Amino acid sequence: MTNFQIEINHSEHKKEKPESSELVFGRVFTDHMFIMDYTAGDGWHSARIVPYQPIALDPASMIFHYGQSVFEGLKAYWTKDEKVLLFRPDRNFHRLNQSNDRLCIPHIDEEHALQALKELINIDREWVPKAEGTSLYIRPFVIATEPFLGVAPAKRYQFIIILSPVGSYYKEGIQPVKIAVEQQFVRAVQGGTGTAKTGGNYASSLKAQEVSSQNGYSQVLWLDGKEKKYIEEVGSMNVFFKIDGEVITPALNGSILNGVTRSSIIELLQHWNVTVTERRISMDEIKEAYKAGKLEEAFGTGTAAVISPIGEFFWQDEQMIINEGNTGELSKKLYDTLTGIQKGEIEDPFKWVQEVELRHAVSFR
Ligand code: COI
């Protein structure tokens, strides 16, 4: 690894920490944050950990006008033997660079990003929550900071990592969620930005999300942008179906997000010798399976949501109640195993977790 120096400025005012058992998703932030700047010609520089604070940006900064930004989401977990574990962080930083590519943002050294993250978590280690179902959500993101109103890739950026102790993403927790199948709006088309983690994908999902939540649904299920026939993903999760014993998930087709939890679930199922297939699957097929009594389970997967059982789909004015609205056996087993591995309570045959060492080496203070 090349020499990477991080300047550290400790916060003098420690914030009050919330009770672990009262945590929701994404409302509370820790005492510090990581920042690094990019300037064309100089590359990434000035890596620093500073007290968590607002950032001052020129109102002409390109992020505000053309949305040139990418982000990631990953988690750290507190274990019973007082270790802090990260789940597949290398995957997230790799995907950050894939998103950077799509958005014409310069690559970040993935090892440096991981080193910075471990350093930051170490400083804010006491913020990793301990209660059942909680974790430290990590949000790395890059924004275009050059003040310029022309439409072009920016020449200046900031890479920032913030940390948030969280509870479950959905108010339902591990209870099944109700999902409306979106028939009017689309999330992404092939050739678009659907595979990138960029804010615009989420901004354009809000309208459909708003309508569905007014009707009592937690999220929408997106269909393909061309024929509105084939299943893509759920608002903030990839989606899986168990039909007649076989697990099926939409194949990565150029408009679906390549979820880290998605690929972990596929690997886990293969490890258990459960048939799991990545292929194109239509809503018609789901309905047929439902009518034939073969739609046994459905669940979403994502870092924020972990495994979220789906108890109902609403499509073409009809409800499909899955497994009588209860969490399926396989969904529960996947949830228990994945969270067990993440928290170091179950053996990790895949080497997915890595420890944030208590005294991670600090390059520069
Ligand atoms: C995640 O699961 O980390 C995500 O990025 C979803 C987020 C939009 C809440």
Say what the pLDDT of residue 359 is. 72
For residue 304, the CA-to-ligand 1 centroid distance in Å is 5
Residues touching ligand 1 (Cβ under 6 Å) are 73, 202, 236, 302-304
Q: In which residue ranges of the chain is CATH 3.30.470.10 found? A: 7-167
- Candidate from 74, 219, 236, 342 with most ligand 1 atoms within 8 A of CB, to mutate: 236
Say what the pLDDT of residue 364 is. 44
Say what the pLDDT of residue 54 is. 98
For residue 293, the CA-to-ligand 1 centroid distance in Å is 32
Say what the pLDDT of residue 1 is. 53
Nearest atom within ligand 1 for CA of residue 139: 3
Say what the pLDDT of residue 365 is. 41
For residue 291, the CA-to-ligand 1 centroid distance in Å is 32
Give domain 177-342's CATH number out of 3.30.70.1450, 3.10.20.600, 3.20.10.10, 3.60.20.10.
Answer: 3.20.10.10
- Candidate from 74, 258, 303 with most ligand 1 atoms within 8 A of CB, to mutate: 303
Nearest atom within ligand 1 for CA of residue 259: 2
For residue 178, the CA-to-ligand 1 centroid distance in Å is 18
Say what the pLDDT of residue 363 is. 47
Which protein residue's CA is at the shortest distance from atom 3 of ligand 1? 73
Task: Provide the whole-model pTM.
Answer: 0.95
Tell me the pLDDT of the chain (365 aa) as tens digits. Answer: 567 999 999 999 999 999 988 999 999 999 999 999 999 999 999 999 999 999 999 999 999 999 999 999 999 999 999 999 999 999 999 999 999 999 999 999 999 999 999 999 999 999 999 999 999 999 999 999 999 999 999 999 999 999 999 998 877 777 899 999 999 999 999 999 999 999 999 999 999 999 999 999 989 999 999 999 999 999 889 999 999 999 999 999 999 999 999 999 999 999 999 999 999 999 999 999 999 999 999 999 999 888 999 999 999 999 999 999 999 999 999 999 999 999 999 999 999 999 999 875 454 44
Q: Which CATH class is domain 7-167?
A: alpha beta
Which protein residue's CA is at the shortest distance from atom 8 of ligand 1? 236
Q: In which residue ranges of the chain is CATH 3.20.10.10 found? A: 177-342
What SS3 string covers the chain?
CCCCCCEECCCCCCCCCCCHHHCCCCCCCCCEEEEEEEECCCEEEEEEEEECCCCCCCCCEHHHHHCCEEECCEEEEECCCCCEEEECHHHHHHHHHHHHHHCCCCCCCHHHHHHHHHHHHHHCHHHCCCCCCCEEEEEEEEEECCECCCCCCCCEEEEEEEEEEECCCCCCCCCCEEEEECCCCCCCCCCCCCCCCCHHHHHCCHHHHHHHHHCCCCEEEEECCCCCCEEEEECCEEEEEEECCEEEEECCCCCCCCCHHHHHHHHHHHHCCCCEEEECCEHHHHHHHHHCCCEEEEEEEECCCEEEEEEEEEECCEEEECHHHCCCHHHHHHHHHHHHHHCCCCCCCCCCEEECCCCCCCCCC
